[in-house]
Amino acid sequence: EMQLVQSGGGLVQAGGSLRLSCAPSGFTFDGYTIGWFRQAPGKKREAVSHFSPGAGSIFYAPSVKGRFTIPSDSSQWTVYLQMSSLKPEDTAVYYCAAAKGTYYDGFPTEYEYTYWGQGTQVTVSS
């Protein structure tokens, strides 16, 4: 069965860091675009980052740009989301997702992502 398995997350104080992992099971990320999304209580799910390694392209939402990165040790077997300078407003359930294809111009919409991780809670205390 093809699925995404997430790990990481937890409780951290404001200003701290966390690293989330997303690993494919039953396939590799070769030829895929990977997205990170989050959903806070009572809010819609929003895109945090899109990463299309075949095109060398990465997108970060303005709310996280400069604080969140896809680190260079990400690979076709695991993609990470390194989160630094965390704020209470970053508190949410974080999901990774994968869409088949390499995106050179633009990124998949949320609905074009085929595979989704189980989600992991990130809580940032003030």
**pLDDT digit string, tens, across residues 20-71:** 999 999 999 999 999 999 999 999 999 999 999 999 999 999 999 999 999 9
Whether 77 has a pLDDT exceeding 90, the answer reads yes
Task: Specify the length of the chain in residues.
Answer: 126
pLDDT of residue 28: 96
- 34-54 burial: b if 16+ Cβ within 10 Å, else e: bbbbbeeeeeeeebbbbbbbe
CA atoms of 86 and 126, how far apart (whole Å):
10
Give me 50's structure tokens.
Answer: 């899109």
Residues 6+ apart with CB under 8 A from 14: 86, 87, 88, 124, 125, 126
Average pLDDT over residues 86-104: 97
Residues 6+ apart with CB under 8 A from 41: none
| Confidence grade of residue 105 (pLDDT, cut at 50, 70, 90) | confident
Whether 113 has a pLDDT exceeding 90, the answer reads yes
Average pLDDT over residues 1-11: 96
pLDDT of residue 103: 92
